[in-house]
Amino acid sequence: MSTNRKPKISVLIPLYNSQEYIRDTVMSILNQTFKDFELLLLNDASTDNTAQIVKEIKDDRIKYFENDYNLGISNSRNKLIELSQGEYLAILDHDDISLPQRLEKQVAFLDANPDVSAVGTATELFCGNKGKGLGAKIIRWFINLGWVWKQYPIPTLQTAIQGCPIMHPSSMIRKKDLEKYGLRYNPEFSPAEDFGLWTDMLINGLRLANLPEVLLKYNLHGNNLSLVRKKEMDEADYKVKSKIKKHLHLPESYNYPYWKVMFHKLRWKYLMWR
Question: How far, in Å, CA of 102 to CA of 93, rounded?
Answer: 14
pLDDT in tens, 28-74: 999 999 999 999 999 999 999 999 999 999 999 999 999 999 999 99
Q: Letter for the amino acid at 168?
A: H
* Bridging pattern class, strands 207-219 and 116-126: parallel
Within-domain flag for 54? yes
- For the chain, report the end-to-end CA distance as a whole number of angstroms: 49
- 185 assigned to some structural domain: yes
Q: How many domains is the chain partitioned into structurally?
A: 1
Residue 2 resides in a domain: no
pTM for the model stands at: 0.93
The answer to the question of residue 1 being in a domain is no
Q: What is the DSSP string of 155-210?
A: --HHHHTTS-SS-GGG-EEEHHHHHHHT----GGGTTSHHHHHHHHHHHTT-EEEE
The percentage of residues in the chain with a pLDDT greater than 70, rounded to a whole number, is: 93
CB 148 within 8 Å of CB 214: yes
Question: Domain range for residue 158?
Answer: 9-271
pLDDT in tens, 96-139: 999 999 999 999 999 999 999 999 999 999 987 655 565 567 77
Q: Count Cβ atoms within 10 A of the Cβ of residue 42 and give its class: 0-12 exposed, 13-18 middle, 19 or more buried.
A: buried
Judge whether 3 lies within some domain: no
CATH of the domain at 75: 3.90.550.10
10 phi, psi to nearest 5 deg? -110, 120
Residues in CB range of 132: below 8 A, 6 or more apart: none
* Any domain includes 164: yes
Residue 247 falls within a domain, yes or no? yes
Q: Is residue 58 part of a domain?
A: yes
Q: Could you give the CA distance from residue 216 to residue 50 in angstroms, rounded to a whole number? A: 22
Closest-CA residue to 17 (of 93, 87, 109): 93
